[in-house]
Amino acid sequence: MSVALRDVHKAYGRTTALDGIELRVEEGEFFCLLGPSGAGKTTTLKTVAGLERPDSGTVEIDGRDVRDVEPYDRGVAMCFESYALYPHRSVYDNLVSPLRSPRHRLPAAEARERVGAIAELLGISGLLDRSVGQLSNGQRQRVALGRVLVRPARAFLLDEPLSHLDAKLRQQMRAELKAIGAVRRTTTLYVTHDSVEALALGDRIGVIRDGRIVQTGTREEIWYRPYDTEVARAFGRPRINLLPGTVTEAGEFRSVDGAVELPLPVRASAGSEVLVGVRPRDVSLAGDGHRLSGSVYVTEVLGRSVEVTVRIGAQHLSLVVPRSEAAGLRPDEPVRPAVRAENLLVFEADRPGRPGRRIGKST
């Protein structure tokens, strides 16, 4: 099933939650909606589910306007960020609720079988008789996911389902989630504030900010052609380097203090203020490319690689290199990091309330 939102607006009193959302999720696609808290992610999901009514704009499911369609009739299943498990009922009763509800009267025997299969899949068979209050966060999260999967749905709406888990469990569940066949086959709209999760899971990613979708694209598009500095900063750890400076008459980049000069991969008007972005993994100490000269500021081991922060004039440039390359580096030691022009991203300078847009061909 495909889902589309067209120019959807929603306000709660004076607060604007959705400010013209445009979104299209294709049949069978796993779409990640990424944004900070308060960006309108949950409201978007609830609007698709029919739990919130948009002030204007349309929500289409399979090309049909679903304005007056009840939540149940939309055939979607949602996992709430709060899990929203019925605390006064057992795990089994929670899982069977979608199957035995007044609208969906599956015979008891079939329902029991179905719940059993889902519990097996999620490894919670032993918990069925427990009350929800006795479960750990990780177990609750599985039950919540089970309640979503137990009934065949036309689309899954998952609202930060992994956010309350500890790091290890989160990584494990992320892999498991992707491996579940129903999730692979079914249209899924997945909300998260974690860019790593979005990159790992999403066939496509939509970046949402202040109630608007800023950019939609595959992970490659988002990574290599970010819409603006905010999007560029959101993806990748360590964060992208953004160096402020101006465009010279020759069309090259010069940092504010003149210490960094770089050729630009795109044409920008001379004299304009820009930010040049380069990801730490795209800077090397040994490879070829345009050489800069600076000195080691600090090094930090990240497992098999090392993050080296290099001071170049007033700028700090962070780069990630294999451990062998960084061996023996001492603070204040002179180094010559190399940057290739094709790895540079050029942005307009940030202004208050408006991150600088990327200059160059749009996606």
Partner 1 sequence: MKRRLVGRLADAALILYFLFALFPIAWMVLLSLKPADQLFSTYFSFTPTLDSYRTVLGDSEGIPFVRFFVNSLVVSVGAVALSLVVGLPAAYASARWRFRGSENLMFTLLSFRFAPELTVIIPLFVLYQKLGLFDTYVGMVWVLQLVTLPLVVWIMRSYFTDLTPELEQAALLDGYSRKQAFFRVALPLVKPGIAAVSLLAFIFAWNNFVFPLILTSSSAQTVTVGALSFLGGDRPKYNLTAAAALVSVVPPLLLALTIQRYLVRGLSFGAVKS
Residue 322 to residue 310: CA distance in whole angstroms: 15
Which of the ranges 2-10, 49-57, 169-177, 223-231 carries the binding residues for partner 1, by CB under 8 A?
49-57
Q: Is 48 in the site for partner 1 (CB under 8 A)?
A: no
The contact pattern for partner 1, residues 158-187, with x = CB under 8 A and - = no contact, is ------x-----------------------
Query: Do residues 164 and 137 touch, judged by C-beta distance below 8 A?
Result: yes
Q: Is 152 in the site for partner 1 (CB under 8 A)?
A: no
The CA-atom distances, in angstroms, between 142 and each of 147, 184, 248, 304 are 9, 17, 56, 33
List of residues 6+ apart from 67 with CB closer than 8 A: 58, 59
Among 2, 131, 299, 305, binds partner 1 (CB under 8 A): 131
Residue 246 to residue 17: CA distance in whole angstroms: 36
Of residues 279-338, which lie at the interface with partner 1 (CB under 8 A)? none
Among 134, 172, 218, 293, binds partner 1 (CB under 8 A): 134
Q: Work out the burial of residue 267: count CB atoms within 10 Å of its CB; fewer than 13 is exposed, 13-18 middle, 19 or more buried.
A: exposed
Q: Which structure tokens are listed for 277?
A: 């972005």
User: How many Cα atoms sit within 13 Å of 82 on the Cβ side?
Assistant: 5
Q: Is 140 in the site for partner 1 (CB under 8 A)?
A: yes
Among 10, 46, 209, 219, binds partner 1 (CB under 8 A): 46
Q: Is 219 in the site for partner 1 (CB under 8 A)?
A: no
Of residues 6-35, which lie at the interface with partner 1 (CB under 8 A)? 13
Please, what is the minimum distance in Å from the beta carbon of residue 32 to partner 1? 21
Which of the ranges 101-109, 192-200, 278-286, 354-362 carries the binding residues for partner 1, by CB under 8 A?
101-109
Q: Is 147 in the site for partner 1 (CB under 8 A)?
A: yes
Residue 360 to residue 111: CA distance in whole angstroms: 56
Among 83, 223, 227, 235, binds partner 1 (CB under 8 A): 83
Q: Is 108 in the site for partner 1 (CB under 8 A)?
A: no
Residue 141 to residue 175: CA distance in whole angstroms: 15
Query: Do residues 183 and 203 touch, judged by C-beta distance below 8 A?
Result: no
The site for partner 1 (CB under 8 A) is made up of 13, 46, 49-51, 70-72, 76-78, 80-88, 97-98, 101-104, 131-135, 137, 140, 147, 164
